[in-house]
């Protein structure tokens, strides 16, 4: 494996969108209706990515293999920094790319003075939950959320001190 990581630029947005949409189609099918899966989900995400501007300190770390994007992490620069997307392309899951992305994202956050962060994960996405636990995430409370208009609980995961993480 010769995976590299780097910060995405605005020109990389379409490639990041492709990874995100392919991954969401792959994992969220059990949580939503066929109609939402085939239409609402891709329509919604295409619209979201068309508006992505990477402004105000938001950033995306991307993983590449021979020029192909194989994973993305989007960080929103909020008072508590928020990990908005964390996805590895489906065919490349469980091969260490997520860990590489986590390391690169934490390094970038610390460089920017961000020493804590959080995310939410759909209740039932057990593989991602196990991954975040393995990455030192602290399991938090459930919140009532929604997935492309379908009500769904999600669980908060926090990292309260990124300086102490040992990945």
Ligand X SMILES: CC(C)(COP(=O)(O)OP(=O)(O)OC[C@H]1O[C@@H](n2cnc3c(N)ncnc32)[C@H](O)[C@@H]1OP(=O)(O)O)[C@@H](O)C(=O)NCCC(=O)NCCS
Question: Residues interacting with ligand X, by CB under 6 A?
Answer: 23, 27, 86-88, 93-99, 121, 125, 127-128, 130-131, 134
- Residue 7 CB, nearest approach to ligand X (Å): 18
The residue number whose beta carbon is nearest to ligand X equals 98
Query: Looking at beta carbons only, is 114 or 119 nearer to ligand X?
Result: 119
Dist. CA 20–CA 44, nearest whole Å:
12
In terms of CB distance, is 10 or 66 closer to ligand X? Answer: 66
Nearer to ligand X, 5 or 125 (CB): 125
Q: CA–CA separation, 29 vs 56, rounded Å? A: 33
Is-contact 116 159, C-beta < 8 A? Answer: yes
Spatial distance between the Cα atoms of 98 and 120, rounded to a whole number of angstroms: 16
Smallest distance, Å, CB 120 to ligand X?
7
| CB of 119 vs ligand X, minimal distance in Å | 6
Smallest gap from Cβ 55 to ligand X, in A, equals 23
If the CB atoms of residues 128 and 162 are measured against ligand X, the closer one turns out to be 128
Query: Minimum distance from CB of 98 to ligand X (Å)?
Result: 2
Nearer to ligand X, 58 or 124 (CB): 124
Kindly tell me the burial class for residue 37, based on how many C-beta atoms sit within 10 Å of its own C-beta (0-12, 13-18, 19 or more): middle
Question: Which residue blocks in 5-161 are alpha helix, DSSP H?
Answer: 13-28, 34-35, 41-50, 97-111, 126-134
Q: Report how far residue 44's alpha carbon sits from residue 25's, in angstroms, rounded to the nearest whole number.
A: 12
């Amino acid at each position: 494996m010769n995976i590299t990581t780097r910060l995405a630029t605005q020109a990389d947005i379409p490639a990041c969108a492709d990874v995100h949409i392919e991954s969401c189609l792959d994992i969220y099918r059990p949580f939503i209706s066929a109609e939402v899966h085939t239409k609402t989900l891709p329509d919604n995400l295409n619209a979201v990515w068309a508006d992505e501007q990477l402004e105000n300190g938001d950033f995306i770390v991307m993983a590449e293999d021979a020029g192909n994007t194989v994973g993305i992490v989007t960080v929103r620069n909020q008072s508590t920094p928020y990990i908005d997307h964390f996805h590895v392309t489906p065919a490349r899951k469980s091969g260490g790319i997520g860990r590489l992305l986590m390391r690169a994202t934490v390094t970038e956050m610390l460089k920017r003075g961000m020493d804590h962060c959080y995310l939410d994960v759909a209740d039932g996405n057990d593989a991602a939950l196990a991954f975040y636990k393995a990455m030192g995430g602290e399991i938090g409370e459930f919140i009532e959320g929604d997935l492309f208009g379908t009500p769904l609980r999600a669980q908060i995961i926090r990292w309260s001190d990124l300086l102490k993480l040992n990945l």
